[in-house]
Chain A
Amino acid sequence: MEEKNIYQPHLMEIIKIIVETGDTKTFHIQFLDEKLRENFHYLAGQFGEYSVFGEGEATFCISSSPTRRGHLEFSVKKVGRVTQALHQLNEGDLIGFRGPYGNFFPLEKFKGKNLLFIGGGIGLAPLRSLINNVVDTRADYRDITILYGARTPQDLCFKYDLEAWSKDPSLQLVTTVDVGDKDWKGKVGLVPIILEELQPSPQNAVAITCGPPIMIRYTLRALDKLGFAPDQVWTTLEMKMKCGLGKCGRCNIGPLYVCQDGPVFSLDEIQKFISDEF
């Protein structure tokens, strides 16, 4: 029998911390084990279990693109015990990492299509992995539109990415905030409303969305109005997880375990769920 302890994390060093907003930070981490740095592979949409030793483990998606190797990135909003402990760490500190777990965005299916990304707040993190992946293999896709919203200009995450995307002539980036300030030059309004204003065509398109539950709900309605079919809409779901391995029993939606069968689902799949418990 193979003697591998599936609950044992790899040690990783925090090599860089970026303060995104008042309560969100992005961590750049690197495996201590040099072989793992080389051999570790994942796909956009997958997640990991990150541990602060003594405080516990928490689940976050890997927010860096698999095309940009060397280190992993993940972003954390300070909401609970582990996230608070993460926020207290410094560059050079060690954390644990298990992964990658879960499924991923089916990039094969997206090839040759127009991509529409709709993100809200920290929900840009999983999309960002995919967006940068797509940007690095730009030739495979047609028009790319990114719609990203936050409460205020200060709450926009990944400002460096937003800047890079806005400069990229092959992308269309639209940012919006609920409440602007005097320096704000982007749009003002809720994401679903701006989405309807944009009038993206569902023709040969795929919409990928992630954000707070309330935003997702209204975004899905807006997409429906715009003529997007359920199998053209993709999202990633968030559930409480402990093991990430389909064993601990809390992230299920009906018989599906989000940690194994998800977190990426098409709206088509979601509509067939037996349960609304997510």
Chain B
Amino acid sequence: MFFKINQGKFKEWLLALKNQGEVYIPTKENNLWVYALLERQEWPAYFLNTRIPVKNLFFPNRQALLSWKYEPGSMGMNSFVPEGKKRLIVGLRPCDSRSLQLLKPVFAGEYADIFYLKNLDRTILIGLACSQICPGSFCREMQVDPQDSADNDIFLRATPEGFVAKVITERGKGLLAQGFFAEAGENDWAAAAQEMPGRDALFDLEIVKANLNSFFAQEEFWQKVSAKCLNCGICTYLCPTCHCFDICDLRTPEKGVRFRCYDSCAFPNFTKMAVHNPRAEKWRRYRQRVSHKFNFFFQNFQAIACVGCGRCVNFCPVNLDLREILTAIH
């Protein structure tokens, strides 16, 4: 089902969405793009993708899990109940919306993490087709289509006049039935597709997947490709699908809060135990990151934990390019 809307009406629609819940749109703050609560800012005329991936709104770097308080003779403990307020995020790129779905099986399952799942449940995702290929990105190699996405409730394609919307879910449909949109057809949708600049595929994902097991034992290969690595957490913290975390307490003498915060497999302390660290060497940690995304995650969840957004490539302080490593494995 397709609808269309012009620029002016779109802005009115965004404001009207605020009646439905909190609306987040891409906003440039402090020189970097983030999803910010819609207040007075304008819909951006142009943006590539946010610096901080959208996972941050679902799996924040600082999530309070529970609090406690010592009372005379006993102790009170409170669970932080995840918020139930409805949210709408407008302008998600296909890579980021895919990442939200990829993370779902990690947090679901026998031990369901309500913090993530409730955030996903309370958020309506309104995606937006890309107009340009981001630097460092390899989304098409990762089978993410920059022009279409089924991981949203509504997916938009920009046209010179406004947007064409494709309705994907029922709750998405509910949002369009508000008088702002006009009906459109398949042909409008097709016409709104933008030609993305072509480039030869760097690698074939299937071959990479097949080769990773045999590459795992090649110590020298991993030593060589990880030589530049700084052991910083940029690639994991900016990655839309990295989800490793740490649990830490903050306290005063009488009360405290237990938090979950990001942790990174690039840090030597990540796996360090009292006497032994199974991933003490840099190459092991780098191998873990690549293998986890492209091999282990696939074995556990039948999907690759990478959407090719290119943040880790573009923001790596030493230009350690994941694409080169995948190409080499290919």
Contact = CB atoms under 8 A, between A and B. Distances in A.
Interface of A: 1-9, 11, 51, 53-57, 79-80, 83, 94, 96, 212-213, 238-240, 242-243, 245-255, 274-275, 277-278
A3 B114 contact: yes
B121 A7 contact: no
6 contacts: A8-B66, A53-B249, A239-B271, A240-B273, A251-B271, A254-B296
A249 B243 contact: yes
B65 A7 contact: yes
A253 B271 CA distance: 11
A4 B82 CA distance: 10
B245 A255 contact: no
Interface in B234-291: 243-249, 251, 256, 258, 260, 263, 265, 270-276, 278-279, 284, 288, 291
Contacts of A239: 271, 273, 278
Given A2-B114, A8-B66, A53-B258, 11 more contacts: A5-B65, A6-B112, A79-B274, A212-B275, A239-B278, A242-B245, A243-B245, A248-B244, A249-B244, A255-B300, A274-B213
Interface in B271-327: 271-276, 278-279, 284, 288, 291-292, 295-297, 299-300
Contact of B249 (A2, A3, A54, A245): A54
Contacts of A2: 112, 114
B106 interface: yes
B274 A1 contact: no
B81 interface: yes
A247 B111 contact: yes
Contact of B265 (A9, A213, A238, A249): A249
Contact of A245 (B111, B213, B297): B111
B272 A240 contact: yes
Determine chain B's interface SS by DSSP, over half rule.
mixed
Contacts, number: 122
Contact of A3 (B81, B256, B275, B297): B81
Contacts of A248: 244-247, 263
> Interface residues of B toward A: which range?
35 or more
B17 interface: no
A53 B213 CA distance: 41
Question: Which are the 9 A-B pairs with shortest beta-carbon distances?
Answer: A249-B244, A79-B274, A54-B251, A255-B296, A255-B299, A277-B278, A5-B79, A245-B111, A7-B65
A36 to B, nearest CB: 14
B216 A274 contact: yes
Given A54-B256, A252-B292, A277-B284, A243 B247 contact: yes
A51 B260 CA distance: 14
B113 interface: yes
B190 interface: no
B270 A1 contact: no
Contacts of A80: 274
B286 to A, nearest CB: 13
A83 to B, nearest CB: 8
Nearest to A98: B111
A251 B278 CA distance: 9
Given A249-B265, A250-B244, A277 B279 contact: yes
A249 to B, nearest CB: 3
Contacts of A274: 213, 216
Contact of B295 (A54, A213, A255): A255
Interface string B68-102: 10000011010111000000000000000000000
Contacts of B118: 1
B168 interface: no
A277 B77 CA distance: 37
Contact of A252 (B107, B113, B248, B296): B296
Residue with the highest number of chain B CB atoms closer than 10 Å, among A5, A94, A213, A239: A5
Contact of B247 (A212, A242, A249): A242
Contacts of A253: 278
Contacts of B213: 274
B271 A246 contact: no
B296 A56 contact: no
B227 to A, nearest CB: 19
Contacts of B52: none
B37 interface: no
B273 A238 contact: yes
Interface string B103-142: 0001101011111011001000000000000000000000
Nearest to A213: B276
B270 to A, nearest CB: 5
Contacts of B65: 5, 7-8
Contacts of A212: 275
Nearest to A57: B247
Contacts of B77: 8-9, 11, 96
A51 B117 CA distance: 25
A1 B117 contact: yes
Contacts of A246: 109, 111
Nearest to B242: A249
